[in-house]
Chains A and B, each alone.
Chain A
Amino acid sequence: DTGVSQNPRHKITKRGQNVTFRCDPISEHNRLYWYRQTLGQGPEFLTYFQNEAQLEKSRLLSDRFSAERPKGSFSTLEIQRTEQGDSAMYLCASSRQGILRETQYFGPGTRLLVL
């Protein structure tokens, strides 16, 4: 078990460009969550998947953001037409549904800087 992995770890882009991040959850974890964390704040929920189904999206997830989990394993988060306000740490977490005490485990995050 290698834990939750995220790629890339860092991304610098120019305003207006599209970026895509990848998250590989812990194997056998069927739930996958995306959070965003800005400086001095705790992580804030963006969206979550159970298997390949996207079950909830927060109001933070504007229409420039899209997330997928096509085969119920890894997930991608795409931001189109990036803005400077999108600069943040994007965190992925996974958990296993059905066990008595379900807990979310986080990846190392992808830090995005939009110039």
Chain B
Amino acid sequence: GQQLNQSPQSMFIQEGEDVSMNCTSSSIFNTWLWYKQDPGEGPVLLIALYKAGELTSNGRLTAQFGITRKDSFLNISASIPSDVGIYFCAGQRSGNTPLVFGKGTRLSVIA
């Protein structure tokens, strides 16, 4: 099935560093979402974006909905050990359609 292009695939960073990851698509989405998944658990919603160009923050997390509606990025500032996990972007065409996910960015934080 279709999946979004998410990069990087994995990253190792020092505690306190900022992190940036992005997601691109060949087609337009009207909603972009970012989820975090811990091992053996379901994805947990971090940020939802509903309008092209929208910039939204949730604590140390900031995400933007690309102006073309074909991309989104997520920034994490001042990373801490509990940020470790897999971050997924997901696109949605309209409110009642399934989510299309990227393959995830695996984040490791070195204390």
Binding site for B on A (CB under 8 A): 4, 6, 31, 33, 35, 40-45, 48, 50, 55-56, 58-60, 91, 93, 95, 97, 101-109, 111
Contact (Cβ within 8 A) B101 A43 = yes
Chain B interface residue count: which class?
Answer: 20 to 34
Q: Identify A101's interface contact among B3, B48, B98, B102, CB under 8 A.
A: B48
Contact (Cβ within 8 A) A48 B98 = yes
Number of A-B contacts (CB under 8 A): 71
Nearest A residue to B98 via CB reads A45
Contact (Cβ within 8 A) B99 A43 = yes
What's the minimum C-beta distance from A36 to chain B, rounded to whole angstroms?
10
Binding site for A on B (CB under 8 A): 1, 3-4, 6, 33, 35, 40-45, 48, 50, 88, 90, 95-96, 98-104
* A106 and B103 in contact, given A41-B3, A42-B3 (Cβ under 8 angstroms): no
Interface-centre pick from A43, A44, A55, A108 (highest chain B CB count, 10 A): A43
* A60 and B1 in contact, given A42-B101, A42-B104 (Cβ under 8 angstroms): yes
What's the minimum C-beta distance from A16 to chain B, rounded to whole angstroms?
26
What's the minimum C-beta distance from B55 to chain A, rounded to whole angstroms?
16
Contact (Cβ within 8 A) B40 A111 = yes
What's the minimum C-beta distance from A38 to chain B, rounded to whole angstroms?
11
Contact (Cβ within 8 A) A103 B96 = no
CA distance A77 to B96 in the complex (A): 20
Nearest B residue to A41 via CB reads B103
